[in-house]
A = this chain, B = another copy of it.
C-alpha cells in the first residue's frame, strides 16, 4: 500500500499535534511545500493504521487527527467570536477513565469542549 509522507507527520506536529486533513494540507501549502491533498489523506490514514495518530470527529463531522501520546488538552471556545483557549483537563481525564471502567470499557478516550460567550463579546 502506501507509507506516510514524513512531511505530513512533521506538519501535524507543528500544528500542535491536532488538525484536520484539510488544515494540514492548507498549512503545507502556505509554507510552500509541494504536496497533493490525496497524499495528505493517505498519509494520515496510514499514520492512523500504525497507531501513531488518533482520529476523532468534530461536531460538524470533519475528521481531526491527533498525535498519540501528546498530552491532550481541551478547548474553551467563544460562541460569538470564536476565540479559543486551550485548557488542561485534569479532572476530566480521571472521570472518563473511571466511568468507562465501571462499565467494562477498555481502550478509553474522550472528547470535551466548553463553550460560552467571552468577556469581549
Contacts and interface: CB of A to CB of B under 8 A. Distances in A.
Contacts of A57: 57, 59, 61
A116 B112 contact: no
A115 B104 contact: no
A78 B61 contact: no
A76 B63 contact: no
Contact of A99 (B87, B109, B119): B87
Contacts of A91: 91-92, 95
Interface residues of A, number: 34
A111 B85 CA distance: 16
Contacts of A116: 100, 105-109
A118 B105 contact: yes
Interface of A: 57, 59, 61-63, 76, 78-79, 85, 87, 89, 91-92, 95-96, 99-100, 103-119
